[in-house]
Amino acid sequence: MADSTADGVERRLPTDEARELLALVRDIARREIAPRAAEEEAEGRFPRELFALLSRSGLLGLPYDPGYGGGGQPYEVYLQVLEELAAARLTVGLGVSVHTLACHALAGFGTEAQRAAHLPAMLGGGLLGAYCLSEPSAGSDAAALRTRAVREGEGDWVIDGTKAWITHGGIADFCTVMARTGGPGARGITAFLVPGDAPGLSAAPPERKMGMRGSPTAQLHFDGVRVADDRRLGAEGQGFAIALGALDSGRLGIAACAVGLARAALDEAVAYARERRQFGRPIADFQGLRFLLADMATKVEAGRALYLEAARLRDEGRSFGRCAAMAKLFCTDAAMQVTTDAVQVLGGYGYTADFPVERYLREAKMLQIVEGTNQIQRVVIARHLVGPESR
């Protein structure tokens, strides 16, 4: 089944339900998200009320089990929803992606009792999640994390340490936290579900960022935070494997958001080129600019095709890690190039805050860094091709 986008491109959607879902998302994006994006990003304001609306609309748990309040949608559909949200405002699309990432450990590795107790509120109860893996000294080398959870007898765990670069840091209602419970390396890490208001959990002031100013990013400090053992997710020592599995899916979310951002930049560039006149005719008549727009559009379509291919592999239960890394790499690099070219199409106007392409360019840079830098994606892809590096 096909669905026409604003630029006339036909997309394949698997069901009538998916088609109706995407129409709903576009309506919300057009009416509720896009009109406020520029003002709120300039003010650094997080749109918490929009996330409440998305939760009520069933959009914060799309790929999860309907038995726990999820939407039961395949990743092929969920990612296209993210693209639509990100095209309207990246803060919203990325926020939904991060929330979905924060739910992954519980949905995939929690016990039946844990899922029944927590997932409905996380997926449809208006809660917002954060994913806590990175630390000040453990970014790309995430297995070197130092935040430690120590068990007191057979009861609670006590967590101490600092997490860094946390999206929704300071405003999240719950955090999926990776902490060291054993020795050094990946096998000593365990996952925990920590309430956002847990005593001893505090947030540093939000980072002052180049872009995505409406999305708070902050360090989280764990100072004797007590967590009951029934909030441990998976087995002791399984946390790093859980984290990597979540990141494979999270990279697809970033790829879809990158395509949405690039598409928004392309739409602005095309509209401007049709209206702007120089030498007595629209600048869209000049071959040099037409070729630039053609290259931008090709990158957008190629990126979407790649993230959808990875999504379909995931939906079929096949290995998709390599394709996810490729999608994250290609789509975010494409977003950086397309937003740069959009600024060029608008010329001096593109360099001002009066037009959104200036903001799109600043936001695109961030996408090349989060969920593993694009250099890390190349490492992952190469390992799939030729095996791990010699030691």
Q: Which residues are catalytic?
A: 371
Q: Name every residue whose Cβ is closer than 8 Å to that of residue 314 and which is 6 or more positions away in sequence.
A: 75, 249, 252, 320, 324
* Residue whose tokens read 């290995």: 319
Q: Do 325 and 251 touch, CB atoms closer than 8 A?
A: yes
Q: How many CA atoms lie within 13 A of 389 on its CB side?
A: 5
* Residue whose tokens read 């600048």: 283
State phi, psi for 98 to the nearest 5 degrees.
-65, -40
Q: Which helix (H) or strand (E) holds 131?
A: strand 129-132
Separation between Cα atoms, residue 105 and residue 97, nearest integer Å? 14
CA proximity to 135, closest of 161, 163, 160, 159: 163
Q: Name every residue whose Cβ is closer than 8 Å to that of residue 385 and which is 6 or more positions away in sequence.
A: none
For residue 138, give the DSSP letter.
Answer: B
Is beta strand 2-4 parallel, antiparallel or unpaired with respect to 10-12? antiparallel
Separation between Cα atoms, residue 310 and residue 321, nearest integer Å? 8
